[in-house]
Every structure is written in structure tokens, then in C-alpha cells.
């Protein structure tokens, strides 16, 4: 049997749920309220999700790449309603590398497991190797990352503690670093899980029939070793299962989930979990371009010791994803969604926010009882071209297909060249800002195309503005079509600049949030006091 462990929600989680009451998303809730759910269960960029059950609770983690804090940890009691409860990685090592933006690098597909009373998260950094962080409580504290196996191009680790007590780890290779790909290797591992004992044995080569084989997850059931592995590419692939009675093979293979005639492209890469009542489920992602890799839940069963995922709509023996389905047979829990809106009334930054590099204390300050977040104007780099290499971007994920964000802040401007911006960030980006120019305040809208390759910023709009307090608004419509507007009173908004089609960043979806910058260095730079940030349905 797959190893799941009895337990209860820790007091820390129960306390978190009681004390940090959160608003339910106004723009995407997967729970239909009638005993069914709709996919995706998370319409947000939780890429490469992995999930483990511990007793009656489920915990998810996901890739975070260069965004910090990293390795998000989400909690659920019914696999449909999820709450973001912590991060396992508050600063990303090596610090001298990740103190600067490293788009597309950093934390790739992680794996979360529970073993002998501890939570283990293995994650790969394709440039440095395979790391492990552990905790006795999913709320943390999580240990400093341990480098389990050094090596360039080693990705997507997943451990297995076998019935005889021996430990193993499967991983894949990133062709961009290793020069080989679509290969799975199984290595012996120390029983405490902190180091690999050999360089491993190749157990499967998907190069011919299953290109871009990666993201393996290791399980054991009914005497079979199973490796669940996606293949065929992030946006176009399928879910492959390989199995063997011997850990080193030979492994038989079977495709068990594909797009078929549905609209869900590339349904693959994720986690098998069971419920206390004996149901099986599969959680995976769908690459949705600017919206990132959003999370789906599929019913799962077994036939002849092969998993059957989704529903076989076309009768070819391969499952296809469901758009709606009966909820898992689990106790009814409260409707929950990861936090989105923020009133900035807490003494710490909300978990929905991430920076684009390891943060510095001077970038911003929560104020708690003061009711705002202070974002300081940090000097632009001497070789500034655009925001791509700017680390102090305070951003969060797109939460739905369509939504509206309104924010209010006060600009504490001191000198010319100081600017506070509200940005939709990706490889192309656009922002609306308030900037001091020639001792006067200006509303600006700026666009940048191909930022990763040093694309230049282009000003689309400029208009004088007399007030220090301003309201900015972003509307995102189907297809990630974005429009910006501004207001002095929060009632009457003026549209500014042209519509903008959001695009992904490097392996992440588009994100929305803030920056605060200035030209040159001064010993008393300006700042912005962000009063609130609210995500709502688009006004008709």
C-alpha cells in the first residue's frame, strides 16, 4: 500500500484558521456548494503540484522558481478547498545568487512526503542539485535546505521508503543543463533521507515515445513500484505511469490521462492521494499561458493494478479530465481559498505576496495597527533597462480568468525620479504609476515588450496629478486582456493607456502588484503607504 500516515491537524494550523479569518475569493471558488466541484480547483499558478495526506489532512506544495518566499504550503481537508498556510523556503540559497532575480531558475518541481513524524520537501535547483527541507509542523519552522545531491541538471526528485526500511529517490534531468533528458534514474538514499548513496540506475528512457519525460513521483502499491511521470511537454503533454515488481525494473508503461476532446491542454504532472474511506484522486496542472499552471482534481480508480484517471470519454482506454465532478468522500469542510485581497492590517506581510528575489529589510515594512504597508523607493541599478532585473517587485498570482483589482496608496514623495508603480508583470509588462517629475506628480502608463531580452520601456500615457493619495485599478478580462485606470476619490476612474495582453514570466504566470523605485541614491528616499489591495468581480 502507498504509505499515508494517521494524524490530526496540528494546533498551529487550527489556531491559524481561527485567528486569521480570511475572505473567500469573489472571483474563483471551486466548491459548487451542492456536493460537487468544478475544475480548476485552484485557478492560480501553483505549478507542478504535489500533495500528501496525513491523517484527515492534505498538504500541497508547488514550484516557486525565483519567487521568494518559496515552496508554498497549502492545506485542505476535502481536496477542493485550499488555504495557503506557510512557505518552506524563506530565503533561497545560494544567497549570493538569489539576492538578484533569477527568472526561471531556483525551485523546480518539488515533492512533499510525511515520514516518521516529519514533513519532507525535496526540491531541485537545476543549477545546483537536489535539496531537502524538513519540519515537524507544516506551519514551520522548516529546516535550512540540505544539499542531498550536488549536480547540474538534476531535477524533480521523489523519495520512497520501502517496506524493508531501505530508502530510494527517483529524479529526472534537465536537458538545458545536463545535456540529456527524458530519462529517469533511481538512486539509493540514506534512511534519514539527507543524502544519496550512489549515482543511480537508469530505469526508464522516454526519449522515443515519451519525450520530455520529467516530474516523477514514486509510490508502492500491491507489490508494484510505480513512477507517475508527465511527458510530451508542459502545455501539450500526457500522464505516463510506469510500474515494476523490481525497483530497478524492467518497467512497463501506460498512458493514463490526456487532453482527448476536452479543452484542458497538457493534463499531467502531479500527485496521487487516497482518502480515509479508500477513494483515490489525482491532482495535476494545466498550463494556461498568462494565468500560469493552474490546478485540477481528477477522480482516480484502479483496474488490473493500473490507475484510471478522469473519465474515458472516447473509449480509447485513456482517461480525460473532468470539468465538474462529485466531491471526494470526506467530511464537509468550510469553503476556503488562498488569500488574495489585503487590507495590510497585520504585523506581517500576507502570504499571497512574493518578491522576485531574496528580500532585503529596507524594501518595505508592515505596520500592523497603522493599517498600511510601507514600500520604499529603492534605487534603480546603474545599468537599469527595465523591470526584469529589478528585485523589489511585490507581486501575487492571477486568481481567476476575469477579475478586477483596486488599490489605494499615499505617495510620500521627496525628490524627482521617485516612482510607485502598479504592474502586471511577465516577459512583457505594463504598469500605471505615480512619479515625481520636475517637482510635480505625474500619472504614467508604461509598457515593455520582450523584457527578458532587454526590451525598452515605452511611455503610453502621462498626465498631471495633484493629489498624493491615488486609487489605481486593473481589470483583467478573458484571455488576460488588461486595462488600467486611476482616480483621486475612488469613485470616478479615468482609463489610461491602451489595453495590454498579459503574458507569462519565465515558467510562471503573469503576476500583479507593486514596485517602488527612484533614480540615484539618497539618504531619505520617498515611499508609498499602501492602504489596501482588493480583488473583486469586474463591475458591469
Q: Which of the residues are catalytic?
A: 48, 214
Q: What nine digits make up the cell of 251?
A: 518497467
Q: Which residues neighbour 468 within 8 Å (Cβ) at sequence distance 6 or greater? A: 410, 411, 412, 413, 441
Total length of the chain: 540
- For residue 361, the 8-state DSSP code is G
Distance CA 481, CA 502 (A): 6
Q: Please choose, from the candidates 120, 231, 116, the residue with its C-alpha nearest in 3D space to the C-alpha of residue 165.
A: 116
Question: Are the C-beta atoms of 102 and 89 separated by less than 8 Å?
Answer: no
Reduce the secondary structure of 437-489 to three states and give it as a string: ECCEEEEEEEEECCHHHCCCEEEEEEEECCCCEEEEEEEEECCCEEEEEEECC
State how far Cα 327 lies from the chain centre.
24
- Bridge partners for 283 per DSSP: 271, 297
Question: Are the C-beta atoms of 214 and 239 separated by less than 8 Å?
Answer: no
Question: Are the C-beta atoms of 447 and 497 separated by less than 8 Å?
Answer: yes
Q: Which residues neighbour 236 within 8 Å (Cβ) at sequence distance 6 or greater? A: 265, 266
Q: Which residues neighbour 446 within 8 Å (Cβ) at sequence distance 6 or greater? A: 421, 430, 431, 433, 457, 458, 459, 460
Amino acid at each position: 500500500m502507498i504509505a499515508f500516515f494517521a494524524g490530526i491537524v496540528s494546533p498551529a494550523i487550527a489556531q491559524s484558521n481561527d485567528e486569521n479569518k480570511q475572505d473567500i475569493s469573489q472571483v474563483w471558488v471551486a466548491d459548487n456548494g451542492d456536493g460537487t466541484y468544478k475544475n480548476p480547483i485552484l485557478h492560480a499558478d501553483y505549478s507542478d503540484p504535489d500533495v500528501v495526506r496525513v491523517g484527515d489532512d492534505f498538504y500541497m506544495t508547488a514550484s516557486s522558481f525565483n519567487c521568494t518566499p518559496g515552496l508554498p504550503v497549502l492545506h485542505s481537508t476535502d481536496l477542493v478547498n485550499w488555504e495557503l498556510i506557510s512557505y518552506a523556503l524563506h530565503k533561497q540559497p545560494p544567497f549570493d545568487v538569489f539576492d538578484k532575480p533569477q527568472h526561471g531558475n531556483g525551485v523546480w518541481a518539488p515533492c512533499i512526503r510525511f515520514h516518521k513524524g516529519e514533513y519532507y520537501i525535496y526540491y531541485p535547483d537545476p543549477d545546483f542539485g537536489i535539496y531537502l527541507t524538513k519540519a515537524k509542523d507544516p506551519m514551520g519552522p522548516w529546516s535550512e535546505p540540505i544539499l542531498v545531491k550536488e549536480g547540474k541538471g538534476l531535477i524533480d526528485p521523489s523519495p520512497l521508503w520501502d517496506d524493508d526500511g531501505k530508502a530510494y529517490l527517483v529524479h529526472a534531468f534537465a536537458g538545458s543543463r545536463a545535456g540529456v533528458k527524458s530519462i529517469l534514474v533511481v538512486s539509493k538514499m540514506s534512511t534519514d533521507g539527507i543524502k544519496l548513496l550512489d549515482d543511480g540506475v537508469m530505469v526508464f528512457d522516454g526519449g522515443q515515445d515519451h519525450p520530455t519525460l520529467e516530474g516523477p513521483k514514486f509510490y508502492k502499491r500491491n507489490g508494484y513500484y510505480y513512477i507517475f511521470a508527465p511527458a510530451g511537454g508542459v502545455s501539450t503533454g500526457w500522464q505516463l505511469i510506469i510500474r515494476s515488481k523490481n525497483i530497478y525494473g524492467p518497467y512497463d508503461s501506460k498512458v493514463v490521462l490526456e487532453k482527448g476532446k476536452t479543452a484542458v491542454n497538457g493534463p499531467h504532472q502531479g500527485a496521487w492521494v487516497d482518502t480515509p474511506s479508500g477513494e483515490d484522486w489525482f491532482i495535476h496542472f494545466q498550463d494556461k499561458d498568462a494565468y500560469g499552471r493552474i490546478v485540477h482534481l481528477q477522480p482516480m480508480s484502479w483496474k488490473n493494478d493500473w490507475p484510471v484517471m478522469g473519465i474515458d470519454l472516447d473509449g480509447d482506454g485513456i482517461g480525460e479530465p473532468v470539468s465538474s465532478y462529485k466531491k471526494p468522500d470526506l467530511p464537509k469542510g468550510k469553503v476556503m481559498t488562498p488569500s488574495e485581497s489585503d487590507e495590510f492590517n497585520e504585523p506581517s506581510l500576507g502570504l499571497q505576496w512574493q518578491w522576485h528575489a531574496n528580500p532585503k529589510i529596507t524594501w518595505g515594512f508592515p505596520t500592523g495597527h497603522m493599517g498600511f504597508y510601507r514600500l520604499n523607493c529603492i534605487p534603480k541599478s546603474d545599468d537599469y533597462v527595465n523591470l526584469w532585473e529589478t528585485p523589489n517587485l511585490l507581486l501575487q498570482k492571477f486568481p481567476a480568468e476575469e477579475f478586477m483589482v483596486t488599490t489605494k496608496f499615499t505617495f510620500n514623495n521627496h525628490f524627482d525620479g521617485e516612482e510607485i508603480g502598479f504592474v502586471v508583470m511577465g516577459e512583457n509588462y505594463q504598469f500605471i504609476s505615480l512619479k515625481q517629475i520636475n517637482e510635480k506628480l505625474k500619472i504614467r502608463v508604461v509598457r515593455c515588450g520582450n523584457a527578458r531580452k532587454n526590451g525598452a520601456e515605452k511611455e503610453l500615457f502621462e498626465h498631471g496629478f495633484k493629489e498624493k493619495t491615488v486609487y489605481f485599478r486593473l481589470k483583467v478580462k478573458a484571455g488576460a486582456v488588461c486595462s488600467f485606470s486611476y482616480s483621486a476619490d475612488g469613485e470616478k476612474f479615468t482609463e489610461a493607456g491602451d489595453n495590454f495582453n498579459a503574458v507569462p514570466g519565465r515558467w510562471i504566470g503573469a503576476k500583479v502588484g507593486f514596485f517602488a523605485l527612484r533614480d540615484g541614491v539618497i539618504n531619505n528616499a520617498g515611499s508609498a503607504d499602501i492602504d489596501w489591495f482588493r480583488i473583486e468581480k469586474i463591475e458591469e
